[in-house]
Amino acid sequence: MAIKSGGFSRKSSASDKVPDSSLADIAFLLLIFFMVTTVFRTDKERDITWPEAEATEKIDAKTKDILNIWVESNGAIFMNDQPYSMDQVSEVVGPLYRASDQRLVISIRGDRDVPYLTMDQIQKELVSAGVVRVVFATELEQRVTRARR
């Protein structure tokens, strides 16, 4: 009779499969981690006095399809929280408008005390950039937007 090695036999052998029972849990935890740590960039509110309006209309566009141009009472122009000169408006807005397949809506958010000449110059810059979808934000629109939130 032959002697076996040690007299003990192994009931289970090493598996060559990768354990996948906890992969769904890991994926779910990673998803939660990225959702919690993601920071969404929003436009910084400028300190302006809103012009008044008797009527307003809600813009039915997605937030990503709206470009806010802030005009302060001293004539300073801001887009995406960056200051720009009047000559740069058409250079910046034109490519953005064409890249969005003309879906981009330009929202001019001007102070009540901005001279009409400045607003007219901005409109001329937008026309030279080929923009046709322009709206003006007013105090009534701000009240309606806050009431809906």
The per-residue b/e assignment along 3-34, b for 16 or more CB within 10 angstroms, e otherwise, is: eeeeeeeeeeeeeeeeeeeeeeeeeeeeeeee
The total domain count for the chain is: 1
In a domain, 99, yes or no: yes
Q: What is the mean pLDDT of the chain?
A: 78
Q: What is the pLDDT of residues 15-73, one digit of tens each?
A: 777 777 788 888 899 999 988 888 776 666 677 666 666 666 666 666 778 888 888 88
Whole-angstrom distance, CA of residue 112 vs CA of residue 124: 19
The pair of three-digit structure tokens given for residue 55, joined into one six-digit string: 């009527």
Tell me phi and psi for residue 65, to 5 degrees: -100, 15
Q: What is the pLDDT of residue 64?
A: 76
CATH code at position 94: 3.30.420
Q: Is residue 125 part of a domain?
A: yes
Binning pLDDT at 50, 70 and 90, where does residue 10 land?
low
Task: Look at residue 2 and tell me if it is in a domain.
Answer: no
Q: Higher confidence at residue 120 or residue 16?
A: 120
The reported pLDDT for the residue numbered 31 is: 92
3: in domain: no
DSSP per-residue codes, 39-89: ----PPPP--PPPP-S------S-GGGEEEEEE-TTS-EEETTEEE-TTHH
Dmax of the chain from CA atoms?
111
The residue to which tokens 């001279």 are assigned: 115
Look at residue 79 and tell me if it is in a domain. yes
pLDDT, tens digit (0-9, with 9 covering 90-100), for 69-107: 888 888 889 988 889 998 899 899 999 888 888 888 888
What is the model's pLDDT at position 145?
55
In this prediction, residue 32 carries a pLDDT of 92
Assess if residue 63 is contained within a domain.
no
Instruction: Output helix, strand, coil percentages for the chain, rounded to the nearest 5.
Output: 35, 15, 50
Confidence of residue 108 (pLDDT cuts 50, 70, 90): confident
Beta strand pairing call for 105-110 and 77-79: unpaired
